[in-house]
Chain A
């Protein structure tokens, strides 16, 4: 089984993140916490954008990060997919090129790069297929500046899903968008998820937390609880957890 697990320690200036987690394939882990509690830092650590200062992180048998053993696999070598806050589509690329960007570099990653024009046409076709599957084909040739916030976020999710990565990390994918797109993205994440994909999603939303198999509640960089959402809702470890589930 290729689960994602570790006890993570990151000390930076005055902030310390100290969290243990274990997620099995096919599971979704929701990360909840007040602003500044370290949710985005946790995503950055899992993605390989911030190295740990202590503890370790592994994916299946692969050690991703272990400062004690001087092991650090950078983001480009982890083969994960990331939906950062605000989606962050590349502004200089069309929607379809945004999706193809990940496919292109992932090919290189797996070492089966197709040379030249054929590879490119093939990637565009696959990117377009991925967009079509998510009902976004009519946006393919647009620039990110021509999309609404919700559309851009859907494309960002499509770009990450198209990679069929074993681990998908999402940093507040539902914030700042309208209800319809919120529902659409929640549905995409359930129905279009590749078999066995682990999803780690930072969220403020009750529904999204309830969708998850496990919820990690963190505050001031420390885990308050790691539990099934209903168990957490029944016995909230903090006032804000209670508010999130019962407001």
Chain B
């Protein structure tokens, strides 16, 4: 974007960063002139981008300004809040574990095996990404609710239980893990597994000792994304599992309650979750913003 940047990077890349033209192979020729290059992005486009970032930034800043800083501690350390934190941790971590256990094998199947129903399976796995969570919740009621399919077969359902909240969170979180791992698996070198075979490792041993460890960074990144999504899950949870304190009332559900009774507590809870979200971003920084 700036002249100093492009000057610093010009000697190394094969494609010139500023002009997009391939550099010729003769590296011996020194850069001839150091004239200011035309900006790669026109000013009006930059202006729109700035406006867009401001729209994203303003509410977050307002949240910080609105925060009841002096009473923050007492607002967060109430029994109600601590219960919501506990439920949130139990639900989101269980959802992540389930997502990893079921999502990793699913990612392997999608990345490595060709079969006719593959587009269908991929759609099933990713549809919760684009589906309104409340619809996911309604679908869960139809499937696993007391009056749904499961209820009509067995007489009991998973709605209005912590298990139900875990199920709702897993459903919306797992796609993140599957897509993250599947993407990484497509770029791993299949020769490692072939080599493991030539060293005598059978298919399951190859998967456990080679494929899985090689996929570890993407599993970790996917798990963090899935956890963030599970932690923020609201619509499917409240629709399917309800809003029962100590059972299904996670932090986001608690915020919706607090907004009506105690807005300061709602802001404090929001601040807590914003902090967690930022921590997730910092944790994934190296993955999304590669170091130069």
Interface on A for B, CB 8 Å cutoff? Answer: 44, 47-49, 74-76, 78-82, 84, 88, 90-93, 101-102, 105-106, 108-109, 159, 163, 169
What is the CB-to-nearest-CB distance from A101 to chain B, in angstroms, rounded to a whole number?
6
Chain B contacts with A in 200-215, Cβ cutoff 8 A: 200-202, 205, 209-210, 213-214
Which chain A residues border B202 with CB–CB below 8 Å? Answer: 76, 105, 108
Q: Which of A49, A76, A90 contacts B200 (CB 8 A)?
A: A76
27 A–B contacts from the bound complex (CB under 8 Å): A48-B198, A49-B198, A74-B197, A75-B194, A75-B198, A76-B201, A79-B200, A82-B198, A84-B195, A88-B192, A90-B195, A90-B196, A90-B210, A90-B213, A90-B214, A91-B214, A92-B213, A101-B199, A102-B200, A105-B196, A105-B202, A106-B199, A106-B200, A108-B205, A109-B200, A163-B200, A169-B198
Give complex CA distance A201, B216 in Å. Answer: 34
Given contacts A76-B200, A92-B216, A105 and B194 within 8 Å (CB-CB): no
B34 touches A (CB below 8 Å)? no
Give complex CA distance A149, B234 in Å. Answer: 52
What is the CB-to-nearest-CB distance from B104 to chain A, in angstroms, rounded to a whole number?
16
**Cross-chain contact A163 with B214 (CB below 8 angstroms):** no
What is the CB-to-nearest-CB distance from B224 to chain A, in angstroms, rounded to a whole number?
19
Contact with A along B82-97 (1 / 0, CB 8 A): 0000000000000000
**What residue of chain B has the Cβ atom nearest to residue A86's Cβ?**
B191
What is the CB-to-nearest-CB distance from B271 to chain A, in angstroms, rounded to a whole number?
39
**What residue of chain B has the Cβ atom nearest to residue A163's Cβ?**
B199
Which chain B residues border A93 with CB–CB below 8 Å? Answer: 213
Given contacts A84-B191, A101-B209, A105-B205, A92 and B197 within 8 Å (CB-CB): no
Interface on B for A, CB 8 Å cutoff? Answer: 189, 191-192, 194-202, 205, 209-210, 213-214, 216
**Given A76-B201, A82-B195, A84-B194, 4 more contacts at CB 8 Å?**
A47-B194, A79-B200, A82-B198, A108-B200
Which chain A residues border B195 with CB–CB below 8 Å? Answer: 82, 84, 88, 90
Which chain B residues border A169 with CB–CB below 8 Å? Answer: 198
Give complex CA distance A93, B196 in Å. Answer: 13
Q: Which of A44, A91, A105 contacts B201 (CB 8 A)?
A: A105
Give complex CA distance A76, B191 in Å. Answer: 14
Give complex CA distance A245, B195 in Å. Answer: 31
What is the CB-to-nearest-CB distance from B190 to chain A, in angstroms, rounded to a whole number?
10
Which chain B residues border A47 with CB–CB below 8 Å? Answer: 194, 198
**Cross-chain contact B199 with A102 (CB below 8 angstroms):** yes
**Cross-chain contact B198 with A81 (CB below 8 angstroms):** yes
Give complex CA distance A80, B199 in Å. Answer: 7
**What residue of chain B has the Cβ atom nearest to residue A87's Cβ?**
B195
**What residue of chain B has the Cβ atom nearest to residue A98's Cβ?**
B199
What is the CB-to-nearest-CB distance from A11 to chain B, in angstroms, rounded to a whole number?
20
Question: Which of B199, B201, B205: most chain A Cβ within 10 A?
Answer: B199
**Cross-chain contact B198 with A101 (CB below 8 angstroms):** no
Which chain B residues border A109 with CB–CB below 8 Å? Answer: 200
**What residue of chain B has the Cβ atom nearest to residue A85's Cβ?**
B191
**Cross-chain contact A105 with B200 (CB below 8 angstroms):** yes
Which chain B residues border A105 with CB–CB below 8 Å? Answer: 196, 199-202, 205
Which chain A residues border B209 with CB–CB below 8 Å? Answer: 101
What is the CB-to-nearest-CB distance from A233 to chain B, in angstroms, rounded to a whole number?
32
What is the CB-to-nearest-CB distance from A222 to chain B, in angstroms, rounded to a whole number?
25
What is the CB-to-nearest-CB distance from B21 to chain A, in angstroms, rounded to a whole number?
29
**Cross-chain contact B192 with A90 (CB below 8 angstroms):** yes
Give complex CA distance A47, B189 in Å. Answer: 18
**What residue of chain A has the Cβ atom nearest to residue B209's Cβ?**
A101
What is the CB-to-nearest-CB distance from A4 to chain B, in angstroms, rounded to a whole number?
15
What is the CB-to-nearest-CB distance from A165 to chain B, in angstroms, rounded to a whole number?
9
Question: Which of B194, B202, B213: most chain A Cβ within 10 A?
Answer: B194
What is the CB-to-nearest-CB distance from A219 to chain B, in angstroms, rounded to a whole number?
25
Question: Which of A80, A82, A90: most chain B Cβ within 10 A?
Answer: A90
What is the CB-to-nearest-CB distance from B236 to chain A, in angstroms, rounded to a whole number?
36
**What residue of chain A has the Cβ atom nearest to residue B214's Cβ?**
A92
What is the CB-to-nearest-CB distance from B31 to chain A, in angstroms, rounded to a whole number?
31
Q: Which of B189, B191, B194, B196 contacts A101 (CB 8 A)?
A: B196
**Cross-chain contact B191 with A88 (CB below 8 angstroms):** yes
What is the CB-to-nearest-CB distance from B291 to chain A, in angstroms, rounded to a whole number?
16
Give complex CA distance A227, B240 in Å. Answer: 75
Which chain A residues border B189 with CB–CB below 8 Å? Answer: 88
Give complex CA distance A84, B196 in Å. Answer: 11
Question: Which of A44, A80, A91, A101: most chain B Cβ within 10 A?
Answer: A101
Which chain B residues border A82 with CB–CB below 8 Å? Answer: 195, 198-199
